[in-house]
């Protein structure tokens, strides 16, 4: 059980939202008379309770006595987290939000925010003195507040960022949840090889065909060089979920192979990864057992839905991985700086 209290404008509500994300049942400003029922009720998990001067029946002495009684009966092991900030910071925050301080005297110019802060500081002094943890948010960014609470109250494995790598086909549109999208339609399409067409990017012959494309190696090197530093940067910024989507024409060959490789690359770096092949109706957790594929309508990656074979001579060379100049005639006149 965590009792979150502190100065108005210091970030108490933000702290409660973080604890809610961490799995706590969160109640903000319940009447103190019902506090015991909340704690001892049936089937109660971790609790986070917000208490401040707005709470009905607010009495710091009675609250502390009640928490001591809970500790003595071993009914709960409550901790008090007091969220604080410097007076000038609180004044600026109230000015920016244009909210009235809950203890500001009515009718005073500017709402009497400074007087309200002084009154609140006096009323909350017993709770600040008894607090197990005082957090000063004067210069504390919200992502850092989140990390501090996660380290102290988050279940093992919950803190940090989860990554989803998803393959998809463009005819059905971009995945709505995608944060980063990479287009793989520049790679050779196995669809035009009758032997590979019925397979997917999870099959070894298709993987060998795609990875044999001269464009694959440089693309892979640049993609991982981009993503490897981005993931910790996103986590540092407080991001909890990241979805990387890789698309091709049908969502069956090129994007599937790239998603497979990328998911395992990211998992190898220690990130929890969910691998999803949208057009194949397959989801897999890494590490973990593969989830069962669910029946669905024919996916967009079926042969009839792929782009028609080009009518140019390039189609005759599309299955010739050993001749990149013929496979991509526009490259023949350009110097290769790789």
Stretch among 13-17, 134-138, 226-230, 324-328 having the lowest mean pLDDT: 324-328
Question: Dihedral, CA atoms, 88, 90, 94, 96, nearest 10 degrees?
Answer: 70
Beta bridge partners of 26: 48
Q: Is residue 261 domain-resident?
A: yes
Same domain, 23 and 62: yes
What pLDDT was estimated at residue 78? 84
Closest listed residue to residue 186, CA positions, set 338, 331, 334:
331
Nearest-angstrom CA–CA distance, 332 and 160: 47
Burial of 247 from C-beta contacts in 10 A (0-12 / 13-18 / 19+): buried
CA-derived radius of gyration, the chain: 29
Q: What is the pLDDT of residues 35-92, one digit of tens each?
A: 767 766 665 678 899 998 888 888 889 889 888 887 787 666 788 999 999 999 998 8
What pLDDT was estimated at residue 315? 33
Same domain, 73 and 117: yes
Same domain, 149 and 167: no
Annotated binding site for GTP: 52-55
Domain boundary residue, one of 99, 122, 153 = 153
The mean predicted confidence, pLDDT, of the chain is 79
Q: Is residue 336 domain-resident?
A: no
Same domain, 127 and 275: no
Residue 207, CB half-sphere, CA atoms under 13 Å: how many?
9
Look-up of token digits 């140019």: 312
Nearest-angstrom CA–CA distance, 308 and 311: 9
| pLDDT value at 337 more than 90 | no
Same domain, 14 and 34: yes
**Which range of residues forms the domain containing residue 178?**
162-331
Same domain, 91 and 201: no
In the chain, the largest separation of any two C-alpha atoms, in whole Å, equals 86
Domain boundary residue, one of 98, 128, 153 = 153
Residue 153 banded pLDDT, cuts 50, 70, 90 = confident
Nearest-angstrom CA–CA distance, 126 and 51: 13
Same domain, 321 and 172: yes
Average pLDDT, integer, range 163-188: 94
What pLDDT was estimated at residue 159? 54
Q: What is the pLDDT of residues 9-25, one digit of tens each?
A: 899 999 999 999 888 88
Annotated binding site: 6-13, 52-55
What pLDDT was estimated at residue 203? 96
Encode the chain in three state secondary structure: CEEEEECCCCCHHHHHHHHHHCCCEEEECCCHHHHHHHHHCCCCCCEEEECCCCCCCCCHHHHHHHHHHHHHHCCCCCEEEEEECCHHHHHHHHHHHCCCCCCCCCCCHHHHHHHHHHHHHHHHHHHHHHCCEEEECCCCCHHHHHHHHHHHHCCCCCCCCEEEEEEEEHHHCCCCCCCEEEECCCCCCHHHCCCCCCCCCCCHHHHHHHHCCCCHHHHHHHHHHHHHHHHHHHHHCCCCEEEEEEEECCCCCHHHHHHHHHHHHHHHCCCCEEEEEHHHCEEEEECCCECCCCCCCCCCCCHHHCCCCCCCCHHHHCCCCCCHHHHCHHHCCCCCCC
Nearest-angstrom CA–CA distance, 48 and 2: 5
Annotated binding site for ATP: 6-13
Q: Is residue 337 domain-resident?
A: no
How many distinct structural domains can be found in the chain?
2
Nearest-angstrom CA–CA distance, 131 and 80: 5
Bigger pLDDT: 127 vs 330:
127
Token pair in block for residue 69: 């009684």
**pTM reported for the whole predicted model:** 0.54
What pLDDT was estimated at residue 158? 54
Q: Is residue 338 domain-resident?
A: no
Q: What is the pLDDT of residues 97-121, one digit of tens each?
A: 777 787 776 645 545 888 889 989 9
| pLDDT value at 304 more than 90 | no
What pLDDT was estimated at residue 308? 36
Residue 212 banded pLDDT, cuts 50, 70, 90 = very high
Q: Is residue 135 domain-resident?
A: yes
Same domain, 149 and 187: no
């Amino acid at each position: 059980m965590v009792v979150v209290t502190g100065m108005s404008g210091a970030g108490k509500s933000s702290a409660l939202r973080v604890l809610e994300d961490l799995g706590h049942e969160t109640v903000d400003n319940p009447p103190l008379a019902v506090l015991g029922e909340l704690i001892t009720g049936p089937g109660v998990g971790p609790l986070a309770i917000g208490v401040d001067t707005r709470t009905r029946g607010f009495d710091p002495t009675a609250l502390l006595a009640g928490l001591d009684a809970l500790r003595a009966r071993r009914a709960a092991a409550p901790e008090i987290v007091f969220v604080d900030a410097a007076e000038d910071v609180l004044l600026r925050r109230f000015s920016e939000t244009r909210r009235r301080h809950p203890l500001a005297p009515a009718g005073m110019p500017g709402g009497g925010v400074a007087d309200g802060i002084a009154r609140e500081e006096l009323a909350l002094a017993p709770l600040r003195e008894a607090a197990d943890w005082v957090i000063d948010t004067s210069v504390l960014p919200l992502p850092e507040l989140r990390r501090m609470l996660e380290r102290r109250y988050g279940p093992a494995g919950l803190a940090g960022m989860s990554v989803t790598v998803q393959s998809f086909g463009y005819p059905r549109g971009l995945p709505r949840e995608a944060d980063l999208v990479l287009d793989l339609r520049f790679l050779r399409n196995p669809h035009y090889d009758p032997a590979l067409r019925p397979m997917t990017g999870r099959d070894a012959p298709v993987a060998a065909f795609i990875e044999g494309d001269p464009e694959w190696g440089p693309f892979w090197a640049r993609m991982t060089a981009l993503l490897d530093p981005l993931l910790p940067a996103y986590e540092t910024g407080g991001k909890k979920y990241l979805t990387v989507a890789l698309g091709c024409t049908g969502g069956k060959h090129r994007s599937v192979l790239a998603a497979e490789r990328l998911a395992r690359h990211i998992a190898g770096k220690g990130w929890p990864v969910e691998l999803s092949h949208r057009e194949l109706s397959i989801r897999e957790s890494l590490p973990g057992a593969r989830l069962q594929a669910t029946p669905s309508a024919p996916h967009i990656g079926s042969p009839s839905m792929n782009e028609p074979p080009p009518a140019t001579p390039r189609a005759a060379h599309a299955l010739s991985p050993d001749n990149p100049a013929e496979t991509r005639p526009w490259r023949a006149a350009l110097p290769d700086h790789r």
